[in-house]
Amino acid sequence: MDKRTLRYIALLRKMNPFLEGNVLDYGCGDGAMTSVFIPLNSTSNFFAYDGPETNGQNVQELLNQAKILLNKRARVIERKEDLPKEYFDTITLICMLHGNENIIEQCHPYLKKGGHLIVIDHDKKHLSDEEYIQSITDADRNEILQRSYNEVLRDHTKMDVYDCCRITRSMRLRTVKTLDHRTLEGFPFYLCVSEKN
């Protein structure tokens, strides 16, 4: 594995203490990220959801890919109406907040009281143009091809961990743990763990 992948897996491991009980990856896409963090915690029950409100792409095609990739490791939920309210002990938002600031409000009803919301997203607000270009991953390239460089640049540099905490606090979630590029040796992501009061 390349250095960037190893650093990303190390970041996912930092959320492991909060992956407990029923875990929902909200905005799972094709299930690739979900498949990476499931092996980190074999005691939890994993669920994956994506829908038109979280993803502008062909959601059904992505969910079909997720079903294949997550076969027998996570239950893929295809319709928002099938998400049980106040059921999940943990909800993860992996690279979802930067393009949709309302997503925390959208997934909030499904989180149990005392449950954890884990947000991992791009922490590139501080980067110069040249540093941003150097930080582009294969996933970013795909996103640029689907949208445009300027749209992706705007979204990836729009927010940081402090913005995420502001949004979670406005939803009456208590911040439990944060990490950003300063504590992750320059790795351009942040982690924000909040608890539902």
Is the distance from CB of 66 to CB of 103 less than 8 angstroms?
no
- Residue 169: which H helix or E strand, with range? helix 161-170
- Residue 145: which H helix or E strand, with range? helix 138-146
Q: What is the pTM of this model?
A: 0.89
Instruction: Report the greatest alpha carbon distance in the chain.
Output: 44
Question: Which residue would you say has higher pLDDT here, 140 or 89?
Answer: 89
Ranges 4-13, 57-66, 121-130, 183-192: which has the least confidence? 4-13
Is the distance from CB of 134 to CB of 141 less than 8 angstroms?
no
Q: Note the pLDDT tens digit of each residue in 15-59.
A: 888 989 999 999 998 888 888 888 877 788 999 999 877 665 678
Structural domains of the chain ordered from first start: 3-123+159-196 (3.40.50.150)
